[in-house]
Structure 1
């Protein structure tokens, strides 16, 4: 019964939260409208999601969110330092091909979005077979170390979340 009302409960909750954040105010009407959107939109998109991704909520997801938030804050300071104190010709920008071990499109999308959210890196393309990401990094000393860092900080955690 509950699955018929909420086919994707995580998506419903996310839609409600995003609606309230966009409204920038918590009112009864805003909560009701957000809840309505959280129920109606997943019902309309359900045929496009034949295989729901299996997401583990809990410590792994919370830990991932904390790591991403910390990395965003730290990267903002690093980029500000690069812009203020280094010349453009001293930057070592690189295109990185990051091999991906994740198998679900949702997990690969979260990885690409995470990389793009972190200042100084942009995920620009996914290979046709979904086995690698093309990432542009603003300042990279060692390409191999940067790829290993992306895989250990983000991909390894996402493998635990998307079981």
Structure 2
């Protein structure tokens, strides 16, 4: 019975997305096709996932989401200001290596997404050892401790959620 609940929500979600994106009149045929297609996709893709994520601590997830939203807004505002003042500003791009202790692949994927959401930062490299990540920063301020920033704001909550 437990396996039913692992694929049913994703199947329903994909069917709803299909119906919304298909832009065709909703009828019984559309509904049946969406459900069957979603079910086939979910069942076929189950073998591609070595293990399922088991996130915990909803409160930490909510705090992390709020942090990411605030940081993304702040970064977008900063990038807009940089673009508007472009000829007059001196941009100092550079790379930073951030040591990681997060090992869960789901947490690492979310960390990569968080870093890439904000304009001005890009996940530039991840060695096979998985003990660090290379970031490209558009304007590398020498006064900013990027290691502490990434570890405290993003990696630490992700470790609480996934490990």
- Please state how far the C-alpha of 1:134 moved relative to its aligned partner: 1.2
Q: Which residue of 2 aligns with 1:23?
A: 21
Alignment of 1:59-78 (within 5 A): 59-78=59-78
CA contact (8 A) 1:7 1:43 kept: no
Tell me the distance in 2 between the aligned counterparts of 1:24 and 1:62: 32
Q: What TM-score do the two structures reach when normalised by structure 1?
A: 0.78
2:71 match: secondary structure: helix
| Alignment RMSD | 3.3
2:145 match: secondary structure: helix
Q: Which residue of 1 aligns with 2:94?
A: 94
CA contact (8 A) 2:101 2:131 kept: yes
1:76 match: secondary structure: helix
Alignment of 1:14-163 (within 5 A): 15-16=13-14, 19=17, 23=21, 39-56=39-56, 58-87=58-87, 90-142=90-142, 145-163=145-163
Tell me the distance in 1 between the aligned counterparts of 2:84 and 2:50: 49
CA contact (8 A) 1:100 1:130 kept: yes
Gaps of 5+ in 1: none
Structure with max Cα Rg: 2
- Please state how far the C-alpha of 1:84 moved relative to its aligned partner: 1.2
1:153 match: secondary structure: helix
Gaps of 5+ in 2: none
1:136 match: secondary structure: strand
CA contact (8 A) 1:96 1:143 kept: no
- Please state how far the C-alpha of 1:17 moved relative to its aligned partner: 9.6
Q: What TM-score do the two structures reach when normalised by structure 2?
A: 0.78
- Please state how far the C-alpha of 1:159 moved relative to its aligned partner: 0.7
- Please state how far the C-alpha of 1:44 moved relative to its aligned partner: 1.5
1:90 match: secondary structure: coil
